[in-house]
Amino acid sequence: MYDDDLDREAPPVVVGAVCAGAVPVPFLGVYAVLFIVHGKFHPVVPPDITSTQHGEFIAGIVALVLFVISFVAVVMMLNGTRRWPFVIVQLAVLGGAIDLIVDSTRGGGVTGYFLVATSAIAVVLAFFPATWAYVRARPRRRRRIARRARATELAETETSTAQ
Please give the full DSSP string across 93-144, using - where no structure is assigned. Answer: HHHHHHHHHH-GGG--HHHHHHHHHHHHHHHHHHTSHHHHHHHHS-HHHHHH
Q: What is the pLDDT of residue 141?
A: 63
Q: What is the pLDDT of residue 134?
A: 86
Q: What is the pLDDT of residue 147?
A: 73
pLDDT in tens, 69-80: 999 999 999 888
Q: What is the pLDDT of residue 125?
A: 95
What's the sign of the alpha-carbon dihedral 146, 152, 154, 160?
Answer: negative
- Count structural domains, the chain: 2
Contacting residues for 109 by C-beta, under 8 A, at least 6 apart: 100
Angstrom distance (rounded) from CA 44 to CA 104: 23
- 42 and 116 in a common domain: yes
- 162 and 82 in a common domain: no
Q: Which residues of the chain have pLDDT under 70?
A: 1-8, 106-108, 137-146, 162-163
- 163 and 99 in a common domain: no
Task: Let me know: does 107 contact 132? Beta carbons within 8 Å.
Answer: no
The secondary structure of 37-76 as a DSSP string is IIIIIS--SS-SSSSSHHHHHHHHHHHHHHHHHHHHHHHH
- 98 and 58 in a common domain: yes
Angstrom distance (rounded) from CA 1 to CA 120: 35
CA dist 100 → 27, 67, 106 (Å): 14, 18, 6
- 162 and 113 in a common domain: no
Question: Which helix H or strand E contains 36, and what residues bound it?
Answer: helix 24-36
Instruction: Give pTM, 2 decimals.
Output: 0.73
User: What residues make up the domain containing 154?
Assistant: 138-163
In a domain, 1, yes or no: no
Q: What is the pLDDT of residue 1?
A: 44
- 47 and 75 in a common domain: yes
- 153 and 83 in a common domain: no
Q: What is the pLDDT of residue 116?
A: 92
